[in-house]
Structure formats: C-alpha cells, structure tokens
Amino acid sequence: MKYQPLNLARWVLWSATAVVFLIAPHIFTKSFALTMMTQMGAFIIFALAYNMLLGQGGMLSFGHAVYSGLGAYITVHALNLVGKGSFYIPVPLLPLVGGLAGLAFGMLFGYVTTKRAGTTFALISLGIGEMVFACVLMFPGFFGGEAGISTNRVVGKPFLGLTFGPAIQVYYLVAFWCFACMAAMFALTQTPLGRMANAVRDNPERAEFVGYNTQHVRFLQLVLSSFFAGVSGGLSCINFEIVSAENVSAIRSGGVLLATFIGGVPFFFGPIIGAIVFIFFVVALSGFTKAWLLYLGLFFLLMVLYVPGGIASLVLMQLPVIRARRFGELAWPYCLAASASLVALAGLVGVVEMVYHLSDVSGGTQMALAGVGFDARSGLAWLVFSVLLAAGLVALRYALRFVSERWGMIQAELQAKAAA
Amino acid sequence: MEFFLVQTLNGISYGLLLFMLSSGLTLVFSLMGVLNFAHASFYMLGAYFAYQVSAKIGFWPALVIAPVLVGAIGMLVERWGLRTVHRYGHVAELLFTFGLAYLIDEAVHLVWGRSSVEYRVPPDLDGPLFTIFTSQYPIYRGFMMLVSVAMLVSIWLALTRTRIGLVIQAALTHPQTVEALGHNVPRVFMLVFGGGAALAGLAGVIGGNAFVTEPGMAAAVGPIIFVIVVVGGMGSLAGAFIASLLIGCLQTFAVALDWSLGGITVSQAAPVLPYLLMVLLLIFRPRGLMGTREG
C-alpha cells in the first residue's frame, strides 16, 4: 500500500454529484424536465464511455453508437422475453445485459477497428458503423426494420416494490446507474490500463518500447468503453420502451462525438457537461426551431476553431483567477463579450429562421420570433437582422480583444507573483 | 453474357465516378494529412449548384461554373477554417471538417428543402449510345466515363508536367525546402484543398443527374468513399483507383443479382458488401491494397 493523502476535494465533489442526482427531480418538477433529465443521465454514460476512447485513448470513433445500439437491441429482446416469462431478470439489472452485449460486440468489432490508430481508425469505425446500420435494416426479423422493436418495461413482479411504471422511478434507476458508471469509469482512469491508454494516445512508439502492445491496449480500452456504451443503450431502451435503427445510426454516433467535444475532451468531467448541453439542444431546442441542427453544428465548429478544450477548459481556466480573488476585474469584459455575442446571436437566429421560413412558404410568409410577428419577405426585417448580426460580430471582436488584454495582464501578474 | 457486359459497363462508370470523389480525397490527404470529412458534402453542393445553374442558363455552363464555385468555397474553408485548427493537430482538422459536413447538410436543407430536386440529364445527352445485343446503353453513362477519364488524365498531366504540379509534389515531401525556394506553401495547400473540392463538385455535376439530387446524397456516398480510401491504402492514388472500380462493380453486380443465400438475396445484402470487403481486407492485409506499412 502506498501512502495517499485524503483527497478531500474529490470526496466533496462526488458527494455533491450524488446529492444533485438525488434532489434534481425535486427542483425541476415538470414532467418535461424529468424526461429530459432521464435522457441526460443515459447520455452522460454514453459520452463518458466515448471519452474513454477519444480523450483517454486518443481514438476518434465515428461509429460508437454501434455498441450502445446493439446493447439496446439485446436489452429489448431480454425485456420482451422476461415479459413472456421465459426467464427472470429484475428490470434494474437489465442495463447489465446491455452492457455485456456491448462488451461482446466490442470484442468482435474491436478486433478489426483497433488494428490501426489515428485517422484510419476513425474511417474503419465509420465503416463498421455503416455496416451494422445496413445489417439492422437487412434483418427485420430480429431488428424490427425501420419501425424498430417496442417493449413494455412494467414486467414481472415488482422489484423491492418498484414497478418502473412511473417516470420518476425510471429517473432514479438511470441516476443510480449513471452515478455507478461515472465512478467506475473514473476508477478505470486510475488503473494501470487507464494510464497506459494515455501513454498510447500521447506517444505510441515509446509505449511500444516500454513493452506494451499498443494494439492490445487500444483493444482493451475499446472493449471496456463498449461495455459502458451498452449500459447506456440498455437504459435508453428501458426509458423509451422502443429500440429502432436510429439507435445504431451515424446520426447518434456523430451526436455523441459532438457532445463529448463540446463538453471538453481533455477532462474526465467534460463529457458530463457536454451531454447535458447536447440533450438540452436536442430535446428543448428542437421543439422551438427546425434549424436546431444548424445551430448545433455552428456551435460545434466554433468550439473546434476557438475552444479546443471544450466548455470544461473554459471553466477550469477561471479557477486560478478566482483563487487569486481577481475575477472581479474580468467581470466587466466578460459582460461586454456576452452581450455582444447575444446581439450577434439574435441577428443570426433572425436570418436563419427567415431563410428556413422561406424554404417552405406553404404556410404563408408571416412568421413570429420571440412574440413579434413580421413578414419573412420584408426588406426591413432582413435589414434589421443583418445589421444586428454584423454589429454584434464587430462588437464581439473588440470585446474579445478587451478580454484577452485584461486576461494577459492578470496572468502576467500572477506568474510574476508565483516566481517571486 | 449480355447481362454481364451491361453490368460491367455500369460498374465501371459508377466506379469512375467514385474514383473522381476518392481521388480528390486522397490527393488532399496525401498532401495535407487532412482527411476531408466534408468531401461528400462538396459533392452534394456541386450537384445542387449544377441544378440551380442549369435551370437558369443550361447544363454546359453548369459543368464549368458549379465546380468552380465549389472549389472557391473549398478555398475559403481552407483559408479561414482549416488553417486556424491546423495548430491543434490532425484530429482537430478531422473534427472541423466533420462539423462542416453537418453545416453544409443543414444549409442544403435550408436553401433547397428536404425533398429531391429535379435535376435532369440534359436533352442532348438523353438517349441510347449503342446497343449491346438487345439492351440500349445510355449516352449519359458514356459521357460520365468520358468526363471522369478526361479529368483523371488532366490531373495526371497537371501534376507531372506543369510547374505548379511539380511544386505540389515537392511540397508533399519537403514543405520546408519548397518554402525556402520562395514558394508560398500555405497557398499551395489552399489551392490543393480547393482543387479537391472542385473535383468533388464536378463529380456532383455529373453524378447528380445520373442518380438523384437530394439532401441525403452526401450521407449515402460519403462512407463508401472513405471505405475506398481505406481499402486502397491511405494516400495511394493507384490503390484508390483499383478500390473504386472494385467497389463500383461489386455494388452494381450485387444490386442486379437475385441469388439467394440463407433467405437473403444478394441484392438485399448489397449495401453491406463494401464494408464487408473492408473488414476482410483489414484482417488479412491491414495496410490496404497499395498502402505503405505504418505503425
């Protein structure tokens, strides 16, 4: 046993997370919020599992939905068999079935995909994803074709008095699994395998010289990641009570990549933020606008271009400044930048929504934004929104310069103080 | 025999179209190390631009204007996007083009709607070229082959016989030396990326009306050309050529055959075959048909 000081901050953080999971449904009591949080829980597992590949193993996968989707398919069949009375597994343990299925498929496909690293790995994972998607449509007997397979989660005798009929019980089931998986995946980063995965990501050649087979390390990492992806698939199967071809599609694989990157690949907790933001985009925003995918894509591109560390890196960057009690000096520049980007965003949203409205004029050209009605063909509306967009972008440019000046000044002073 | 000949011709014309796409992808990859995920989206843009231009002033101007427009967009993307993420490494570049593909797909939805548009084969090229036994072979298929072969020959000539081609080839292996000799290597990269996009655009112009011009066309052809690049060996033009023809013929034949195997006809299994080929190849020859060995 080596001596380890008690990492108090870590214990506080994990307990706080558990408390958030427990009390969240009592703060956001609307049923809409509850369904959203349940989806977030399942997606957090998926995004964290994905980051085991991208963040910790340096493997960019375009087909990770294969494992969560196939896990979901196996779970749905298991659930239906339980419903028929063929055998009995309590519903709370069903995600484990999904996880084991994910693990098995991870071993099968991982053997092929992990033969290569880097860009080639990305392409092979894409090919495997497309292959599985095509197979799902090819065997409608097992996969239910386009319509998918539906199920009923209220089966068998109640487990500890829980039927999993009400949404709140499903939420707590997802929350439990989410917390357990988070802890397990964090623990995995501390194991020798987790460390070797980092080594293989950073310098495969040296890892080979130390005596590790990089292909084997990648394979193990992928298999473990598929297990957690499968658990997430099993949970989403229990939540939605339907599994369709969409679950293994490239859209979902792309979605988890977007979510993970937006959250922050270099940090363990980054994908958690990413999953929350992503589900918010998908569930909440898609109800408001048809152009949500465009906004999501644009957001992602901006992150890739200017914030490669994701939202998590933005948050962590502030910590030293806050610790030095100098955040107040940055508040004003941040406010300016935020308001400038809000103006630009308003202009952008206006222009995009008008174009969308004009692409389908069957319902007339009248439209409304934020309660204000106007004609999508009127020159005035176009002028207003274009001016807003342009002015916002110009203002943002100056505001960002202001921010970086202030930021540079504070950093220089902090460094000078640290050196002294 | 008749079936075999017709299908072979169809397969070759489809394979050549695939090669037009995969050659641009391979060129950009071997020169810049960037795998352009949005390549199929440029193909789609080419088809839509051609539809728009040919509706206004006809097909022949569209054959020139659409690729030029797509190439210009490609150059803008390289100048204002890729060059910025270049310092974060290849994964960031790949992610950037991935996000770009999302954006282009959504922009196409935005401008042209969600259903297919009526982009037709021009009347001068409509009709039979020749007759094999009893079936007629359309002129347009022949035209497609002609354009692809002409394009390939001109690329080859441009790369090996012109000054800019020599600079490109030199920049491939020795960018610093080329820069020291006074050539603007970033501009060469911009030209190559734009050129790759223009090739995809040209493929879109002639492929869009041979097949269907719809918002899903990028997602349909994208994975196939990536498979071709893997099967041929990353960065190998000759490998991409062989793999394109192989997969073109494989798919054309598979769709037309109705042999049954365990309750599934070959034509039902057709969409899976290219991926299956990729998997088999990776098991037995991980570097691809013509690829060089890498770690």
What is the DSSP code string of B102-147?
HHHHHHHHHHH-SS-B-----GGG-SEEEEETTEEEEHHHHHHHHH
Tell whether A294 is within 8 A of chain B (Cβ).
yes
Mean pLDDT (chain A, rounded): 86
Give me the residues of B, 232-291, that contact A with CB < 8 A: 234, 264, 268-269, 271-272, 274-276, 278-279, 282-283, 286
**In chain B, which residues have their Cβ closer than 8 Å to the Cβ of A219?**
none
Give the pTM: 0.88
Domain carrying residue B34:
2-215
- Which position has the higher pLDDT, A377 or A12? A12
- Which position has the higher pLDDT, B291 or A392? A392
For B271-291, what is the mean pLDDT? 81
Does the pLDDT value for residue A225 go beyond 90? yes
Q: Which residue of A has its CA nearest to B102?
A: A297
As a whole-number percent, the residues of chain A with pLDDT over 90 amount to: 25
Rounded to whole angstroms, how far apart are CA atoms B84 and B186?
12
H-type alpha helices, A58-117: 65-84, 94-113
For A5, residues 6+ apart whose C-beta sits below 8 A from its C-beta are none
Tell whether B113 is within 8 A of chain A (Cβ).
yes
Residue A137's pLDDT is 84
Per-residue tokens: B187: 């501009």
| Closest Cβ–Cβ partner in A130, A261, A298 for B275 | A130
Rounded to whole angstroms, how far apart are CA atoms B239 and B232?
4
A124 CA: distance to closest CA in chain B (Å): 8
For B208-219, what is the mean pLDDT? 85
Least confident of A2-11, A33-42, A61-70, B166-175: A2-11
Give me the residues of B, 38-97, that contact A with CB < 8 A: 81, 84-85, 88, 90-92, 94-96
CB contact at 8 A, A312 and A267: yes
pLDDT grade for B262, boundaries at 50, 70 and 90:
low
The per-residue b/e assignment along A307-333, b for 16 or more CB within 10 angstroms, e otherwise, is bbbbbbbeebeeeebeeeeeeeebeeb
Mean pLDDT (chain B, rounded): 85
Highest mean pLDDT: which of A196-200, A242-246, B170-174?
A196-200
Instruction: Look at B106 and A250 and tell me if their CB atoms are within 8 Å.
Output: no
Least confident of A186-195, A288-297, A307-316, B96-105: A288-297
Q: Can you give the residue ranges of every domain in chain A?
A: 8-314, 327-419
Least confident of A9-13, A389-393, B13-17, B70-74: A9-13
Question: pLDDT by residue (tens digit) across B138-171?
Answer: 888 888 888 888 988 888 888 888 888 888 888 8
For A65-93, what is the mean pLDDT? 87
- Which position has the higher pLDDT, B266 or A140? A140
CB contact at 8 A, B92 and A308: yes
Instruction: Look at A134 and B103 and tell me if their CB atoms are within 8 Å.
Output: no
In a domain, B37, yes or no: yes
Residue B201's pLDDT is 93
As a whole-number percent, the residues of chain B with pLDDT over 90 amount to: 20
As a whole-number percent, the residues of chain A with pLDDT over 70 amount to: 95
Instruction: Look at B103 and A294 and tell me if their CB atoms are within 8 Å.
Output: yes
Residue A101's pLDDT is 94
Most A-contacting residue of B83, B98, B112 (CB-CB within 10 A), to test interface:
B98
Q: What is the ipTM of this complex?
A: 0.85
In a domain, B267, yes or no: no
Rounded to whole angstroms, how far apart are CA atoms A22 and A39?
16
Does the pLDDT value for residue B293 go beyond 60? no
DSSP characters for B32-48? H----TTHHHHHHHHHH
Residue A87's pLDDT is 80
Residue B263's pLDDT is 63
Q: Which residue of A has its CA nearest to B219?
A: A250
B112 CA: distance to closest CA in chain A (Å): 7
What SS3 state is found at A7?
A: coil
Maximum distance among all Cα pairs of chain B, rounded to whole angstroms: 65
Per-residue tokens: A308: 């490669």
What SS3 state is found at A369?
A: strand
Residue A99's pLDDT is 93
Q: How many CB pairs under 8 A join A and B?
A: 116
Residue B40's pLDDT is 93
Where does A8-314 sit in CATH, by number?
1.10.3470
Does the pLDDT value for residue A56 go beyond 80? yes
In a domain, B292, yes or no: no
Q: If 0-12 CB within 10 Å is exposed, 13-18 middle and 19+ buried, where does residue A198 land?
A: middle
Q: Which of A175, A162, A174, A170 is nearest to A20 (CA)?
A: A175
For A295, residues 6+ apart whose C-beta sits below 8 A from its C-beta are A281, A285, A289, A349, A352
For A294, residues 6+ apart whose C-beta sits below 8 A from its C-beta are A352, B103, B106, B107, B110
Does the pLDDT value for residue A153 go beyond 60? yes
Highest mean pLDDT: which of B86-100, B114-128, B158-172, B192-206?
B192-206
Most A-contacting residue of B85, B91, B277 (CB-CB within 10 A), to test interface:
B91
pLDDT grade for B295, boundaries at 50, 70 and 90:
very low
Query: What is the total count of domains within chain B?
Result: 1
**In chain A, which residues have their Cβ closer than 8 Å to the Cβ of B110?**
291, 294, 352, 355-356, 359
Residue A74's pLDDT is 92
In a domain, B249, yes or no: no
Rounded to whole angstroms, how far apart are CA atoms A247 and A66?
8
Least confident of A305-319, A350-364, B60-74: A350-364
